[in-house]
């Protein structure tokens, strides 16, 4: 655990008690079973916003608390533990980061206070195919009059169905795969020509595919400079990846603890199964990986807060490690629980499903290993 | 956390003192040289090396946190860290090291009698006496408490008979701290901690040649060796507790993820070596994509380990105190060291398969020997599997599997 300030410790403790009282895994299960197409509970989100969680990274002048990414990570870790489904990642982390990193004063003024209050849901729309590939942007934005016209598609957008506003990565020049020629736009969720198809995902979160048919936006919709959006996009994605890694760390920690409890109580052959060395060594491996991953996640979030030039490497390290960890622990959770772990009534399956969805979001382990090697110039 | 540490004026005053003393007393000819390694290899020191050892020994700064009354430095751990920083700054390494410093000394300070402390600590402090560890036996490895080397009470002395193995540096050691059996009717409660003068009649030391070609370890035979009773440390049959405490000091010093072996090639960066030996594609990437991925994976593991060491340090300094994080260090570090050695070997290809002589560079031979020698790191100081047992039992609270 990183060494925390008193303020951070208080916030972490508040998050811990809120999730255990108001948002245990049963709450997520209820959202899932209710057929809620948005994939999250609006009342719970209101409470989270009231506690200031939606504005943790938003500067005070725009209605947030400006406590930074390590602090937001503490909350994400706690919500990750109980699989709490909320717009924390899509809105308070990803889209907010795009505005903080690249937004004009007017854009920040227009959206950040509303986000901090929990009155606006925002989403980041980047990928257009099955795999995360931020340079492979084909969605076209062409100049029309004083504004722009957007045509193309986006896939698997977190909270894309519920979003009041979308940060959309579009191509204004060059071809798919080029880093140059990408521009970010702010697009209202109810824009004319925007079609949103809510998806039923394995982790029961609110994801959507988006189709843009001649969606018109004004010149003031551009975040940063035309054709120069890739830098902002990468910085934004790094913030989103690090925060998501914190959520995954929390999820893996809880999955591990739940499994460890089971090893200490399940009796076979007249003894608790936790006495079996074959299981003990796998538990020791998971614990080792949890500790190593925690160091990476905290280092990445701290690096963002201190504006270190190591952010890209540390973030790819954190996301790759969090992916590997969540993968291992969620598999072991099912296996070590045996038959009961295969049932829908048990939580193991929920962790397994959420783990895979989070692994694929903002880059798989393979994506981040490749990126790490490229960043280190080999 | 990256928050800047506040400068403590007292600590900064100490820093100035340490800096002044070092600039006056550290012979610049020894920059980046490891004098302690020479001592451990049985070479007697002369010239600047001897001067540096004598000065540090007198100052007690080779054992900076040990009490002043026995010749130690008497520094706080914060001051010791400052000293370490100042030494690193000018490339000065402590000339005083070895098992006496790392393992036996701290244990003696906790469990030894006043007379034993006065007799042995000053000679560890000044580097005059080298200690070796008489723990493992041919039939007592991971199951150390199965040891059978016998010490029989003969009134004024113990008569010791038996065999120890893997005694590092026994051929150069002056003294041995030894676990011996003093009661055959009990396992753990029948073990005592005995200090044995290696010059005693009846001790025979035979170096063991390892797969790397080196002989860092010995077999040590005890035949009717008389050991004065005053050399019993701690209570009779109470040696297991002391022995385990010593292992904690040992493990804290192991698994640092690099070791000092094979630095020659490591220092150039494994990715650079891969580019040199394997070649690059048009985009400057290592030509073998699969190898490139595994190198990236390894470097990420190394970074994760380094960040974990940094985190454990920060936690230890904070109000929370040391956490359970340290328990994973030996396995994480040793696995990393072996992973790196295997990658180096693979990267070098046929050039990594030299044993000696022409056709191979010194660096290549060193790396290959280090790959072989490094297989020991998951065996000594508690095997990989024993470490996992310890994590399962002590940290995770799972019941003993036996």
- Domain ranges in chain B are 9-97, 131-240, 254-395
List the one residue out of B119, B121, B151 whose CA is nearest residue B134: B151
Which domain CATH number covers A318? 1.20.140.10
Please report residues of B whose CB lies closer than 8 A to that of A4: 1
A186 strand-pairing partners:
A167
CB contact under 8 A, B296 and A288: no
Nearest to A4 by CA among B123, B188, B3, B345: B3
Q: What would the two tokens of residue B55 be?
A: 């000065």
Q: Which of A280, A303, A321 sits opposite B401 (nearest CB)?
A: A280
CATH code of the domain covering residue A139: 2.40.110.10
Q: What secondary structure, in 3-state letters, does A263-319 show?
A: HHHCEECCEEHHHCHHHHHHHHHHHHHHHHHHHHHHHHHHHHHCCCCCHHHHHHHHH
The 3-state DSSP class for residue A160 equals coil
Question: CA of B295: which chain A residue's CA is closest?
Answer: A373
Q: Are A18 and A49 in contact (CB under 8 A)?
A: no
The contacts of residue B221 (CB under 8 Å, 6+ apart) are B163, B203, B204, B205, B206
Task: Identify the residue among A305, A373, A375 best suited for mutation to test binding to B, counting B beta carbons within 10 A and taking the highest.
Answer: A373
Q: Do A295 and B308 touch (CB under 8 A)?
A: yes
Find chain A residues with C-beta within 8 A of B391's C-beta.
283-284, 287-288
A158 phi, psi to nearest 5 deg: -60, 125
Min mean pLDDT across A197-206, B43-52, B254-263, B392-401 is at: B254-263
Q: pLDDT at residue B184 above 80?
A: yes
A66 and A22 share a domain?
yes
Residue A179 has pLDDT above 50, yes or no: yes
Instruction: List phi, psi (to 5°) of B192.
Output: -125, 160
User: How confident is the model at residue B266, as a pLDDT?
Assistant: 55
Question: Is the same domain home to A171 and A303?
Answer: no
∠ CA A185-A187-A188, rounded to 5°: 160
pLDDT of amino acid B261? 41
- Interchain proximity B304–A376, CB inside 8 Å: no
Asked if pLDDT for residue B354 goes beyond 80, the answer is: yes
Q: Is B221 exposed, middle or buried (0-12, 13-18, 19+ CB in 10 A)?
A: middle
* A chain contacts of residue B272, beta-carbon cutoff 8 Å: 378
Helix, strand, coil in percent for chain B, rounding step 5: 50, 15, 35
Please state whether beta strands B157-168 and B150-153 pair in parallel, antiparallel, or not at all (unpaired). antiparallel
Q: A59: closest CA among A8, A88, A10, A99?
A: A99
Contacts of A283 in chain B (CB under 8 A): 391-392, 396, 398
Task: Assign B253 a pLDDT band (cuts: 50, 70, 90).
Answer: low
To the nearest whole Å, the CA of A378 is away from the closest chain B CA by: 5
**Contacts across the A-B interface (CB distance below 8 Å):** 132
- Distance separating alpha carbons of residues B136 and A325, to the nearest angstrom: 36
The radius of gyration computed from the CA coordinates of chain A, to the nearest angstrom, equals 21
From the list A280, A292, A366, the residue facing B388 with the nearest CB is A280
| Contact: B398, A70; criterion CB under 8 Å | no
Subunit contact A294:B315, Cβ cutoff 8 A: no
Under 8 Å between Cβ of B147 and B179? yes
pLDDT average, residue stretch A42-64: 98
Name the token pair of B376: 């020991």
Instruction: Tell which residue, A333, A316, A325, A262, has the closest CA to residue A293.
Output: A325
Least confident of A334-348, B230-244, B251-265: B251-265
Inter-chain CB proximity B286 and A378 less than 8 Å: yes
Q: How many whole angstroms separate alpha carbon A242 and alpha carbon B118?
A: 54
Clarify whether residues A178 and A207 are in a common domain. Answer: yes
Cβ pair A186, A258 in contact under 8 A:
no
Same domain, yes or no: A319 and A294: yes
Question: CATH topology for B254-395?
Answer: Butyryl-CoA Dehydrogenase, subunit A; domain 3 (1.20.140)
A68 interface with B at CB cutoff 8 Å: no
Q: Which residue among A260, A294, A369 sits closest to B297, beta carbon to beta carbon?
A: A369
Task: State the DSSP string of A34-74.
Answer: TT-TTSS-HHHHHHHHHTTGGGSSS-GGGTS----HHHHHH
Put simply, the answer to whether A288 touches B328 (Cβ < 8 Å) is yes
* Interchain contact, B275 vs A378, CB within 8 Å: yes
Closest residue of chain A to B287, computed from CA coordinates:
A378
The mean of the pLDDT values for chain B is 90
Same domain assignment for residues A256 and A371: yes
3-state SS class at B203: strand
For the ranges A98-102, B1-5, B21-25, the lowest mean pLDDT is seen at: B1-5
- In angstroms, the separation between the Cα of residue B305 and the nearest Cα of chain A is 6
Residues forming a β-bridge with A79:
none
State whether the Cα torsion B144-B149-B152-B156 is positive or negative.
negative
* B398/A2 CB distance under 8 A: no
- Is there a contact between A185 and A18 (Cβ–Cβ < 8 Å)? no
Nearest chain A Cα to B329, which residue? A288
**Taking a C-beta distance cutoff of 8 angstroms, is the pair B162, B222 a contact?**
yes
A163 and A55 within one domain: no
Question: What is the total count of domains within chain A?
Answer: 3
Q: Distance between CA atoms of A113 and A126, rounded to whole angstroms?
A: 24
Q: Kindly state the average pLDDT of the residues A64-69.
A: 98
Mean pLDDT of B339-362: 95
Task: Check whether residue A173 and residue A66 sit in a common domain.
Answer: no
Q: Are residues A236 and A365 in the same domain?
A: yes
Q: How far is CA B176 from the centre of its chain?
A: 16
On chain B, the residues whose CB falls within 8 A of the CB of A276 are: 401
- Tell which of A60, A90, A120 closes a domain: A120
Interface of A with B in 307-346 (CB under 8 A): 308, 313, 317, 320-321
Tokens encoding A241: 């990846």
Q: Which residues contact B113 (CB under 8 A, 6 or more apart)?
A: B233
In a domain, A1, yes or no: no
- The answer for residues whose C-beta is within 8 angstroms of residue A256's C-beta and 6 or more apart is A283, A286, A287, A290, A329, A333
Best mutation target among B287, B300, B303 (most A Cβ atoms within 10 Å) is: B300
Chain B residue numbers touching A3 (CB-CB < 8 A): 1, 3, 314-315, 318, 320
Q: What are phi and psi of A61, to 5 degrees?
A: -65, -15
pLDDT for B83 = 95
- pTM, whole model, 2 decimals? 0.88
- For residue B254, name the pLDDT band (cuts at 50, 70, 90): low
Q: Which two tokens stand for residue B362?
A: 């010194």
Q: Which domain holds residue A360?
A: 231-375
Q: Using CA atoms, how far apart are residues B348 and A75, in angstroms rounded to an integer?
A: 47
Q: Distance (Å, rounded) from C-alpha B234 to C-alpha B224?
A: 23
A270 within some domain: yes
User: Which pLDDT belongs to residue B269?
Assistant: 86
Q: Which residues of B touch A274 (CB under 8 A)?
A: 398-399
Residues of B in contact with A292 (CB under 8 A): 301, 304-305, 308, 328, 332
Nearest to B318 among A3, A263, A277 (CB): A3
A321–B307 C-beta distance less than 8 A: no
* Interchain CB distance below 8 Å, A277 and B389: yes
Average per-residue pLDDT in chain A? Answer: 97
* Average pLDDT value for residue range A194-215: 97
> For residue A304, what pLDDT band results from cuts at 50, 70 and 90?
very high
Residue A5 belongs to what H/E stretch? none
Question: How many angstroms from the chain centroid is the CA of residue A138?
Answer: 23
- Claim to verify: residue A108 and residue A12 sit in the same structural domain: yes
pLDDT at B322: 67
User: What would the two tokens of residue B12 be?
Assistant: 């900064």
CB A142 within 8 A of CB A217: no
For the residues B25-48, what does the mean pLDDT come to?
87
Q: Is the pLDDT of residue B202 over 50?
A: yes
pLDDT at A57: 98
Contact yes or no for B308 and A376 at CB 8 A? no
Among A168, A198, A227, the domain boundary falls at A227
pLDDT of residue B34: 85
Mark which of A205, A227, A249 sits at the end of a domain: A227
Minimal Cβ distance to B391: which of A264, A276, A284: A284
From A283, A303, A308, residue closest to B396, measured CB to CB: A283
Task: Name the residue among B380, B397, B333, B399 with its Cα closest to residue B144.
Answer: B380
Least CB–CB distance from A274: residue in B1, B271, B398: B398
Q: Judged by CB atoms within 8 Å, which residues 70-99 of A form the interface with B?
A: 70
Contact B295 A295 (CB under 8 A): no
In a shared domain, residues A307 and A322 = yes
Share of chain B above pLDDT 70, in %: 93
Helices (H), B254-319: 263-266, 270-278, 289-317
User: Which chain A residues have a beta carbon less than 8 Å from that of B315?
Assistant: 1, 3
Tell me if domain B131-240 and domain B254-395 are identical in fold: no
Which of B299, B306, B307 is the best substitution to test chain A (most A C-beta atoms within 10 A)?
A: B307
Q: Say whether both A368 and A244 belong to one domain.
A: yes
State how far residue B296 is from chain A, nearest Cα, in angstroms: 5
Indicate if the pLDDT at residue A59 is higher than 80: yes
Query: Residue A166: enclosing H or E segment and its boundaries?
Result: strand A165-171
Q: Compute CA distances B34 → A279, B26, B52, whole Å.
A: 43, 13, 11
Are A258 and A367 in a shared domain? yes
Tokens encoding A353: 């499903």
- Positions of B marked catalytic: 250
Is residue A170, in this structure, part of any structural domain at all?
A: yes
- Spatial neighbors of B27 by CB under 8 A, at least 6 apart, are B48, B51, B52
Q: Inter-chain contact A320–B303, Cβ cutoff 8 Å?
A: no
Q: What is the CATH number of domain B131-240?
A: 2.40.110.10
With CB atoms and an 8 Å threshold, state whether B300 touches A294: no
Query: Which of A302, A308, A321 minimises the CB distance to B1?
Result: A302
Nearest CA in chain A to B394: A284
Cβ of residue A377 closer than 8 Å to a chain B Cβ: yes
A277–B286 C-beta distance less than 8 A: no
């Amino acid at each position: 655990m990183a060494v925390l300030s008193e303020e951070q410790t208080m916030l972490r403790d508040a998050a811990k008690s809120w999730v255990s009282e108001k948002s245990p895994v049963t709450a997520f299960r209820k959202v899932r079973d209710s057929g809620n197409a948005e994939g999250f509970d609006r009342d719970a989100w209101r409470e989270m916003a009231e506690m200031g969680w939606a504005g943790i990274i938003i500067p005070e002048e725009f209605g947030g608390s400006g406590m930074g990414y390590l602090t937001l990570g503490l909350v994400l870790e706690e919500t990750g533990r109980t699989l709490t489904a909320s717009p924390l990642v899509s809105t308070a982390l990803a889209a907010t980061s795009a505005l903080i990193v690249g937004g004009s004063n007017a854009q920040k003024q227009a959206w950040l206070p509303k986000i901090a209050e929990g009155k606006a849901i925002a989403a980041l729309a980047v990928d257009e195919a099955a795999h995360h590939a931020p340079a492979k942007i084909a969605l076209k934005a062409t100049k029309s009059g004083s504004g722009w016209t957007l045509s193309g598609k986006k896939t698997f957008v977190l909270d894309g169905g519920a979003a009041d506003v979308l940060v959309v990565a579009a191509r204004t020049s060059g071809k798919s795969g080029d880093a140059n020629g990408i521009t970010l736009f702010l697009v209202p969720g109810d824009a004319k020509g925007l079609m949103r198809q809510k998806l039923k995902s394995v982790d029961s979160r609110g994801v959507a595919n988006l189709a843009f048919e001649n969606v018109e936006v004004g010149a003031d919709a551009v975040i940063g400079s035309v054709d120069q959006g890739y830098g902002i996009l990468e910085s934004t994605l790094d913030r989103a990846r690090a925060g998501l890694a914190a959520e995954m760390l929390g999820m893996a920690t809880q999955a591990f603890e739940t499994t460890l409890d089971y090893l200490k109580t399940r009796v076979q052959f007249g003894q608790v199964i936790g006495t079996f060395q074959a299981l003990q060594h796998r538990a020791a491996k998971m614990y080792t990986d949890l500790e190593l991953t925690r160091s990476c996640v905290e280092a990445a979030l701290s690096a963002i807060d201190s504006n270190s030039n190591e952010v890209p490497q540390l973030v790819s390290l954190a996301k790759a490690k969090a992916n590997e960890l969540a993968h291992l622990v969620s598999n072991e959770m099912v296996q070590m629980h045996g038959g009961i772990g295969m049932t829908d009534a048990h939580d193991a399956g929920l962790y397994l499903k959420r783990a895979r969805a989070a692994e694929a979001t903002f880059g798989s382990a393979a994506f981040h290993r490749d990126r790490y090697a490229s960043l280190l110039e080999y | 956390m990256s928050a800047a540490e506040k400068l403590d004026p007292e600590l900064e005053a100490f820093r100035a003192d340490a800096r002044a003393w070092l600039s006056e007393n550290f012979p610049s000819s020894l920059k980046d040289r490891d004098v302690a390694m020479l001592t451990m290899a049985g070479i007697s020191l002369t010239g600047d090396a001897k001067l540096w050892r004598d000065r540090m020994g007198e100052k007690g700064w080779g054992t900076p946190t040990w009490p002043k009354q026995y010749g130690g430095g008497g520094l706080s751990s914060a001051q010791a860290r400052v000293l370490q920083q100042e030494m690193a700054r000018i490339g000065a390494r402590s000339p005083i090291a070895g098992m006496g410093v790392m393992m036996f000394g701290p244990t003696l300070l906790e469990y030894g009698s006043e007379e034993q402390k006065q007799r042995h600590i000053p000679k560890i402090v000044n580097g005059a006496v080298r200690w070796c560890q008489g723990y493992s036996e041919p039939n007592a490895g991971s199951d150390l408490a199965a040891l059978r080397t016998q010490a029989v009470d003969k009134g004024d002395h113990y008569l010791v008979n038996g065999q120890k193995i893997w005694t590092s540096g026994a051929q150069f050691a002056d003294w041995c701290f030894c676990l011996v059996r003093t009661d055959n009717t009990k396992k753990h409660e029948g073990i005592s901690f005995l200090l044995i003068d290696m010059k005693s009649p009846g001790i025979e030391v035979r170096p063991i040649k390892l797969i790397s070609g080196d002989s860092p370890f010995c077999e040590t035979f005890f035949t009717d060796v008389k050991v004065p009773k005053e050399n019993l440390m701690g209570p009779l049959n109470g040696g297991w507790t002391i022995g385990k405490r010593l292992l904690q000091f040992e493990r804290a010093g192991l698994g640092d993820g690099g070791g000092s072996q094979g630095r020659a090639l490591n220092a150039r960066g494994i990715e650079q070596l891969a580019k040199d030996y394997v070649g690059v594609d048009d985009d400057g990437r290592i030509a073998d994509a699969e190898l490139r991925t595994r190198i990236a994976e390894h470097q990420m593991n190394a970074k994760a380990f380094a960040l974990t060491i940094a985190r454990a340090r920060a936690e230890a300094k904070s109000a929370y105190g040391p956490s359970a994080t340290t328990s994973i260090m030996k396995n994480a570090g040793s696995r990393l060291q072996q992973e790196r050695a295997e990658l180096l070997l693979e990267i070098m290809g046929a050039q990594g398969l030299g044993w000696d002589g022409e056709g191979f560079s010194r660096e290549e031979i060193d790396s290959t020997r280090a790959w072989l020698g490094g297989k020991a790191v998951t065996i000594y100081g508690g095997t990989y599997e024993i470490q996992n047992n310890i994590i399962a039992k002590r940290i995770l609270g799972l019941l003993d599997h036996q």
